[in-house]
């Protein structure tokens, strides 16, 4: 994911920004994510460790060159790699934490100001750097 300015992405509400003059809908990234987390996307809140999600995003940002806002934590990376390497378990009526963690990571990668190219890059990174070969 790169860190393009919100001004280049129609429909994204940057802090203090006015709605686009074209009448395009304004999307608040945190509201969309919040809706996903509270069940609009059928994701149990207690299913995903949000600390793992933040770490995954931070590691990705660091690996993509954002050394000031990314996270360099090789111990955390090793633990997360091991958790993700195992992949989702057979369907059992309980949450597959690994699948939901990856899904939320990719959902965040798709929200404005990011694009499909950012999602593709995030998928490549999951496979090459985090050992997620079950996607």
* CA atoms of 70 and 59, how far apart (whole Å): 6
Rounded to 5°, angle at Cα 101 from 3 and 49: 105
CA distance linking residue 19 with residue 14, whole number of Å: 9
| Tens digits of residue pLDDT in 41-91 | 454 556 788 899 999 999 999 999 999 989 999 999 999 998 888 766 654
pLDDT above 70 covers a percentage of the chain that reads 59
3-state secondary structure of 27: strand
Owner of token pair 């999307």:
27
CB-based burial label for 67 (10 Å; 0-12, 13-18, 19+) = exposed
pLDDT at 95 over 80: no
What are the residue ranges spanned by the domains of the chain?
Answer: 45-135
pTM recorded for the entire structure: 0.64
Query: What integer pLDDT is reported at residue 72 of this predicted model?
Result: 95
């Amino acid at each position: 994911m790169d860190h393009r300015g919100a001004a280049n992405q129609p429909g994204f509400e940057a802090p203090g920004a006015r709605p686009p003059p074209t009448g395009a809908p304004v999307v608040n990234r945190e509201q969309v994510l919040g809706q996903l987390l509270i069940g609009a996307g059928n994701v149990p809140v207690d299913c995903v460790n949000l600390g793992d999600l933040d770490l995954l995003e931070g590691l990705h940002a660091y690996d993509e060159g954002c050394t000031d806002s990314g996270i360099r934590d090789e111990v955390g990376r090793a633990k997360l790699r091991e958790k993700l390497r195992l992949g989702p378990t057979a369907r059992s009526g309980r949450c597959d934490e690994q699948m939901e963690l990856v899904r939320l990571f990719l959902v965040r990668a798709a929200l404005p100001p990011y694009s499909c190219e950012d999602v593709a890059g995030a998928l490549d990174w999951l496979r090459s750097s985090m050992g997620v070969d079950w996607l």
